[in-house]
Amino acid sequence: MSTELMTIGDAQALLRVSKKKMAQLIRDGVLVTLPNPLDKRIKLVKRADVEALAARGATAKKETAA
């Protein structure tokens, strides 16, 4: 597998988000999935997109002021 792509599970671990949040990111178009050429059941995402999202902290939960 190319290092330019990663599985959704790997992206989920890197972003430290739940399966529900990962599905929301994909559904909202924040992350675009690509089919794995070796196994059509597995979806891949671009590593650069995931790393950019992690750097922005866009998946972090908002802290409420007490």
pLDDT in tens, 12-66: 999 999 999 999 999 999 999 999 999 999 999 999 999 999 998 866 555 444 4
Helices 19-27 and 8-15 pack at an angle, to 10 degrees, of 110
Q: Where are the domains of the chain?
A: 5-56
What confidence score (pLDDT) does residue 61 get?
Answer: 56
**Which DSSP helix (H) or strand (E) runs through 48?**
helix 47-56
* CA angle at 11 for the pair 45 and 7, rounded to the nearest 5°: 55
**Cross-strand pairs, 33:** 45
pTM: 0.77
